[in-house]
Amino acid sequence: MVIKVLIAEDDFRIAAIHESYIKKIEGFKVAGKAKSAKDMWEALQREQVDLILLDVYMPDELGTNLLPLLRERCPEVDVIIITAATETTLLRDALHYGVVHYLIKPVTAQKFAQVLTEYKEKKDIINSKDEVNQTMIDLFLDRCRKSQNKGMTEISPQASIH
């Protein structure tokens, strides 16, 4: 299964970098690019999209403000936030609306590929069968936990998200 990605990023240089990264990862295809929230909605009308790489700071709307409507209109579309935004309130909002990952710019090609590859592996597990067994669920959740725990040593024990 090829995962069709919409890049929602107002900086054309960053969008081009993300597009070049995607082209190097097997199983992914760029379905379109949007430089504003308006462009994103138009692209979603035109294109079948599986995943949106969403910047928080768009010229016409905060990316996190788009998440509730995205969940309502396109519940099957997953979102990975890629942003310079480091405010915990934005992270909380993103997690609340079910983003699958939150990356802080600049993102290396290696980290980008790792996150997208793990996303595809999880998606493949979910889509592989009509039913799952406990071993599959444990494998899936273990991959999620390992992915989430990478880099957690940088956060002090006092800095927890509630």
What pLDDT was estimated at residue 132? 77
pLDDT score of 158 more than 60: no
pLDDT digits (tens, 9 = 90+) for 120-137: 988 988 887 678 788 877
- For residue 94, what pLDDT band results from cuts at 50, 70 and 90? very high
Residue 113 phi, psi (nearest 5): -65, -40
CB contact at 8 A, 65 and 58: no
For the chain, domains (ranges, CATH) are: 3-154 (3.40.50.2300)
Rounded distance, CA 108 to CA 40, Å? 24
Assess whether pLDDT exceeds 80 at residue 10: yes
Cα–Cα nearest to 122, from 27, 39, 24, 56? 27
pLDDT tens figures, 141-156: 775 555 555 543 333 3
